[in-house]
Amino acid sequence: MVLDLDDVFTDVWRFEGKAEYATALIEKRVRTQGLVEGVAHVVVHRLVKLPGGFQVFFSAISLDLWQRCTQWAQEQSDHCLVMMAPGLLCHGVKLGNARLMLSQRRVMCFIETEEGMAFGSTQALGSGASAMASAAQVVTANHSALLARLGPDAVEWGALWTQQPSDGDSCLAALRAVLGGDPAVLPPQELVLAGERVHTVLPRLAREAAGRHALNPVVDRLAWRSERWVAPVAVVTAVVGVVLAIVGVLVGQMAEQQQAVGQGQRAELSALRDRIQAVSSVEAPQKLLPVAEFSRALDEGARHDPVAFMALLKASSGKDIRIQRVRLETTTGQSRVRAFRVDGVMAPGASAAVTRWVSQLVAAGWTLKAVDPTYTVPGAFSYELVATATASGNVKP
């Protein structure tokens, strides 16, 4: 609901002091001057701070009339926002710009420059085209200096509400005469109400100005916004639902593919395990047994090569150790193992030389076992040497 009543007083006033007291200062002056009948309700449309004070564009309406208007809005089935025509007039007008609007038979003008704000309004006295043209000329003439300085590019024109397109043409002609060119025109909509055609920019302008110039309590404004969001939210919810459904199908397909790949890998692993089991259970062919035995004999002979062993003994024995006899034997016990029996004699007091000799043979890959000496001379010793699987038969002295 947009209030555009004759009982509303609208103007631009300047005050000294703090801007926080603007409403109280306006209400006091309106009451003192008797501009509104009874107690006044003040609506501030725009406030501009200036050096030493501030300037305010406002409307003052009788409190009783204001309460009846808001009560009517609350009784509507849908949430109804309450705005005032001067608020729509100044909405979106930037510094160095102006806007003129026709509301039925009344022409309004709002201007804001670096010097401050200016407002003018004139009601056409009569119903003819000449009366409308005169009203438009009065408004434009009162602000001709400011309008001419701004130029046509900085001035907007719009029909807030009119049933006669010719009235708008008369206002435009008066405005062109002052500006020297065509102003920017707000595109109107044509509506049919009670069988009458109406040209208006109200739907678009009110929708844009609702957040700044709606006079309802915050709860009512939020409720009105929520009604506007119902359809978009429903569409978004539906789109999100479709997207989630598509994602669910894709995820299901990917899970099935991963499951199929896993089953294939498990099958390959099972087949590989069976092949390993089959290979490990195969017995060597009978024809290969002599060859295997011959290979083992060659390995055994290589590890007990007497030439290499004698070279090892010579390299590891120093001047304090004399080897008396070396013999290849087969040890007795649970397992028959081939071993070298070494008989030797160490010089008196050379036990350390024997210890070093034993360490070198162990490092060369032989296991030594002390046995009863064959000779009974002082310093005699005897060892059985069994080769390990990695015995090299050589050692560095």
For strands 338-346 and 321-330, give the pairing: antiparallel
Give the residue among 112, 104, 72 at the shortest CA–CA distance from 85: 104
C-alpha distances (whole Å) from 354 to each of 187, 341, 382 are 119, 16, 11
> How many CB atoms are closer than 10 A to CB 319?
8
Give me the pLDDT at residue 107, please.
Answer: 96
Give me the pLDDT at residue 147, please.
Answer: 96
Give me the pLDDT at residue 232, please.
Answer: 54
Q: Which two tokens stand for residue 292?
A: 């295997």
- Could you read off the pLDDT tens digit of each residue along the chain, which spans 397 residues? 788 888 899 999 999 999 999 999 999 999 999 999 888 999 999 999 998 899 999 999 999 999 998 888 888 777 788 899 999 999 999 999 999 999 999 999 999 999 999 999 999 988 888 999 999 999 999 999 999 999 999 999 999 989 888 999 999 999 999 999 999 999 999 888 778 889 899 888 988 888 788 887 766 666 656 665 545 544 555 565 566 667 676 777 777 787 888 787 888 888 877 777 775 555 555 655 555 455 555 556 667 778 888 888 888 888 888 988 998 887 665 566 788 899 999 888 888 888 888 888 888 888 888 888 888 888 889 999 888 765 544 444 4
Q: Helices (DSSP H) in the chain: which residue ranges?
A: 22-33, 63-74, 85-90, 129-142, 144-150, 165-179, 202-213, 218-280, 289-303, 306-316, 351-363
Give me the pLDDT at residue 397, please.
Answer: 40
Give me the pLDDT at residue 228, please.
Answer: 57
Distance in Å from the first CA to the final CA of the chain = 115
At residue 264, the 3 state secondary structure works out as: helix
Q: Are 94 and 28 in contact (CB under 8 A)?
A: no
Give me the pLDDT at residue 301, please.
Answer: 60
Give me the pLDDT at residue 396, please.
Answer: 44
Q: Are 292 and 313 in contact (CB under 8 A)?
A: no
Exposure string (b/e) for 236-271, b if CB count within 10 Å is 16 or more? eeeeeeeeeeeeeeeeeeeeeeeeeeeeeeeeeeee
| Helices and strands, counts by H and E, the chain | 11, 16
> How many CB atoms are closer than 10 A to CB 73?
16
Distance CA 204, CA 113 (A): 25
Distance CA 116, CA 125 (A): 30
R_g over Cα of the chain? 57
